[in-house]
Every structure is written in C-alpha cells, then in structure tokens.
Structure 1
C-alpha cells in the first residue's frame, strides 16, 4: 500500500513487478509538467482541471473536469518512446497511467462523450464504471484502465475477483487501485476499505484520498465506501500474456452474488456526474 501524503509515483521498479505504473501529476496555475515515456505507453486523464497536452508535437486539448465525481474525463494516449508535456493555465491534478510494452502506436484522444459509462451490480453492490482505456474503446498494446464510483455505504469489486493465470500462456495482471474519497460536512476526510487475499496475502486496509493499493496477484474485493462518503478509485493494470485481456475470475465462494442482481434495482444515486 502507498499512502498519499505526497504526490504519488508508482513504477514497476518501486512496485517490484514488470509493467504497471501510475503517477499523479499536480500542476500549479500556469505551470507545466513533463513525462518521458521510455518503454511504457501512457494514458493521461484529468482528476481535476484542464490542460494542453503535447505528445512529440501532436497537440491535444484535455477538457478535463472539476473533480472525479463529475462524470468521465477525456483522455490522451501517448505511445512508448514519446515525450509528453502537460500545460495547465488554471492548474490541476492529472493521472498518468502507464504500462511497459513492446509496440509503438500512434498518439490518440478519446473524448469524454465517447467513454462508455456502465452501471454495474445492484442494490448495495451498485457502482458506476468509466471504461476509458479498455479493449474496444482505446487501442493500446498492454494497458487496461478504468475508474469506478461507489456511492457511500456501497461495495465495489464485489464479488471478489482476480486476474491471475486462467489460460495457457497467460500471465497475471499487475493492478493498481488509486483512491479519492468525498469529504463529509465541514471538510471531514472520507474513508473506505480495501480487501486483498489469497496466494499468501490477507489484507484489509483503510484507504483515504491519495492512497493506492498494489495487487500483484490474488483475490481482491470488496472495495467499501463508508456510509456518507462516496468512493472513487482508478484501476491501472497490465500483463504479459499474448493478448490484452481482463482475465477476470470470481471467487467461487461468492460468485453466486451476481445471480441476485436482477432481483433488485440499481442504486438511484447513480449515475453520478452531469451530461458531458
């Protein structure tokens, strides 16, 4: 687990694995930041604020959003071996999702209106998923990324699942969970909980805004939003198998929960965020 006391930066080296990375880029008004991709492809999205993004001379206007609970952000894809400059006249916070890869593709842009918004689960397991960098939405070599909003009191990543080896030739996905949690009245900091277990791991951690949990393998879930505090998390993952695929497998002990969803309605608090 990485605490969010300082701007977050996770590399494959710091995580002790091979591919997945995440950096939170914080820019004061009128400043810029630089990302040297090296051997990794990058997906850049707004957590708050807008920016101009230059990818080796290709310019993109990242419209962004005021915050993570205001609907999806547009995103910019930068290929490996490129240099990215992010300039923000009003300032902002940006997630730089990365995955070490072999193939160099072209820079790309996905508008917020083109990000599929999925309402998953029902009842107290209702959540909202923004599938901005998944197969079929964004062309990439290795990276898979999405973000999830869970209303206060609900559970996400439920039933628990894993992305470990499921087919011959596939390898597990290295996954990062990054959290932001809505404050309560008077600015009371929000909180949530994350469970990871199996394959020698058994962790139930309290998480707050800016924290991250690293999941190299094993079952993970639930992600719990404390009552009164809406929970956001960003998922970044990548693997080494022959195809870019989720490889999701539910914990057999809890897989039956999915069969109960049609019997109850999706939480009426969803979807969150206005039209884009």
Structure 2
C-alpha cells in the first residue's frame, strides 16, 4: 500500500517579487535551518530521468510489501539501504546506481529534488511525509528559484497534481497527496527540459559582491538579511541613481 495524505492540494499564485533572493554564495553552501542539509548540485536531466526510473522501481516494491503506512516507511528505508550503501571512497560517493547521489534523501522525493536542481532551483529540505510524528505530515520539498523559472515549475506542479505555496520565509514549498504525485512532478519537469535549457543560467543566482556597499547598507537599514526580489529591485534603483542609502530613506518610507 502507498500512504496518502488527504487535504486540499493547489498551486497558489505567487508574486515573483515576493520570492527570496538566492545568492550564488548560498547556492554553493546551502541555505536554511535544516541541520541535516545535504548539498546536491549540478544534476543533469539524464540523471533526473534515471532517478525517476530507479525511484519508481523501489516505490513499486515498497507498495507491494507494505501493509500499513508505518510499514511502508520501514520497508522503503530498508529497500534503499539494501540497494545503496552510501559508502564513500577517495573519489567521492560510490555509485551503486541511479539513486546513489540522492541516497541521504527520502525515497519518494529523490527524483523531484534532482529535477529542481537540474532546473537551477536550490532545495533546502525535503520529506516524503509520514503519518507518525516523524518528519512532515505530507510529502514536501522546500526550495528557492528565480522569477523566470517559477512559471515552469508551477506548471509542472499543476500537471502532476501537486500543490505549491510561498511560505513565511519567502521560500517555495512543493507538496503532494502522495509520493506518486511528487514523482510525476519530476517527470513533468523533464518534459519541460527545452524550456529550462533556454533560460540563462546566470539569471538563477547572483553574487552578493556585484552589489557592493549598496547591499550592505540596505541590509543594515532594514535589519533583514533575507531579501526578496522586490528588495533587490529597490537596491538596483539606488545603484542606477548613484545614491547612498540615506538619500533613499524617504522614498522607502512613503511606499
């Protein structure tokens, strides 16, 4: 049996200006309060497709063997542990198959995380959902992307029967009624590969250093380091006008 998670699933409209800014430095180091964060980067679309196939195989086995929701969790974890050692050698993680790179993640969200990374989004946490108190109450992936990729990701979520929303930290949350929907999302992302590949890679992440003192002054004034794209637009206005922060305070206060 496959655990399902009832409740409303919808792709909520998101204003791109509300999206949190992803700095190039964060993309390299990771961002979030997830203490178990595992960096996954530079995933190719062929790796995503292989991960989808490998994940579907193990999910089908877990469905066939599990008799309860909690049983599914233990069976799924054991299947991954039996198939993938998670061992490392001097060259890095030992490749035991298509899911080896994503071994620390839950079975059920691996290929979707891979697809988001291939599409130049930055994932911060993920969970396949659990009916017990362990983890999230439904399958969920939290991530950050730029405004150009948001419509493509939202379309993939809609077509897969997943939901998407903006959380209080201005990060996006992809969620679904079950892990089958999450895997369908990965497939939908692969189907839009040409559109993702047509977007410039440098629009996904920008470096803090390109904004110099303007960024530091703005963060000091607002006392808030997690900027949105609306904040970034204001900083660009300041740079274009060649004005320091003090010259912009009244404008900001009147908005």
Give the TM-score of the pair, scaled to structure 2. 0.29
Give the TM-score of the pair, scaled to structure 1. 0.27
- Return the structure number with greater strand share: 1
**Larger of the two Rg values belongs to structure:** 2
